[in-house]
Every structure is written in C-alpha cells, then in structure tokens.
Amino acid sequence: MKNPTIFYEKIGKRYKPSRTTDVYQNSMPYGCHLIIVEPNTTSKYYKINPAYAPMIAASKIATEKMCVAIVNKSKYKPVDGFPNRFEAPSVQDCITEGMNVLRDEAEKLLANPAVKNAYDHFLLVCELTKEDDNVKL
C-alpha cells in the first residue's frame, strides 16, 4: 500500500499537517450510482433511480445500434404513383425503432444469470437503504 498524501495548513509562520488522504479512498456521494467500465473508458451515472439501472446501462451499451436503427428508419421512401416525391417517416416511428433496440439490449443484459442476480441484489440494497421519515441515521 502506498503512503497517504498529507495536506498542510499554514498556522502562523509554520505549516502543520491537517489531513491525509489515501489513494484507494473513494469519494462517491450518497445515493445509488451506476458505473460502466469498457475498454479505455469509464462512465459514471450519479443518483439514478435503481429501477432504471438496466435501461441506463443498455442505453450506454446500445447507443451505436440505436443510432443506426434510427438512421435506417428515417430514410425517405418514394410515394406510390409519384416518381419524384418522397415521404419522410414520422418522428414517432424513428424513436420507436430506437427504443426497440434499447429494449432488446436490456433483455440481453438481464438474460445473463449473473447480471440478473447482481441487479436483484442491487435493488435489495436500495430498498434497505431507502430513507424513512421515522428513522434517523
């Protein structure tokens, strides 16, 4: 283990140690957080609703697939009987296509028993740590 970092305060003419920090110390704020680690990147989402954790994780992982699905769905289509006229799909159709990809990705994530077990454990911990007006910590 490395030596902790020491911070000093100037008191009068001298510097005196005031506090120390350890490099392994974590300073995450209170609440539920989601951390997604991928090669060369780490994404942190703070203070999330635990019920949305799989959807947030799936959206991060499926961003590229969602973009491709929306672009493919939003291509202009020729109008029947009018060779020089094109029709754009509705925005709702494009968003629905993106959400379908997102839902499929979330289902793939939760199909893994380890991920499902971890998610269920996460929800249990969140339920146990919910604030209650009658309980003072």
Chain segment 21-33, per-residue pLDDT in tens: 665 556 677 788 8
Number of domains in the chain: 1
Instruction: Give the structural domain span for 55.
Output: 32-128
Q: Is residue 13 part of a domain?
A: no
Q: What percent of the chain has pLDDT over 70?
A: 88
pLDDT at 137: 43
Q: Is residue 137 part of a domain?
A: no
Check if the beta carbon of residue 94 is closer than 8 Å to that of residue 73: yes
- Residue 90 falls inside a structural domain: yes
Domain annotation covers residue 14? no
Three state DSSP letters for 83-124: EEEEECCCHHHHHHHHHHHHHHHHHHHHHCHHHHHHHHHHHH
| Residue 55 counted as domain residue | yes
pLDDT band at 48 (very low <50, low <70, confident <90, very high): confident
| Tally of helices (H runs) and strands (E runs) in the chain | 4, 6
Q: Dihedrals φ, ψ of 44, to 5°?
A: -120, 130
In this structure, is residue 65 part of a structural domain?
yes
Per-residue model confidence as pLDDT tens digits over 53-100: 877 877 777 787 888 888 888 888 777 777 777 887 888 888 888 888
Instruction: Let me know if residue 6 belongs to a domain.
Output: no
Within a domain: residue 69?
yes
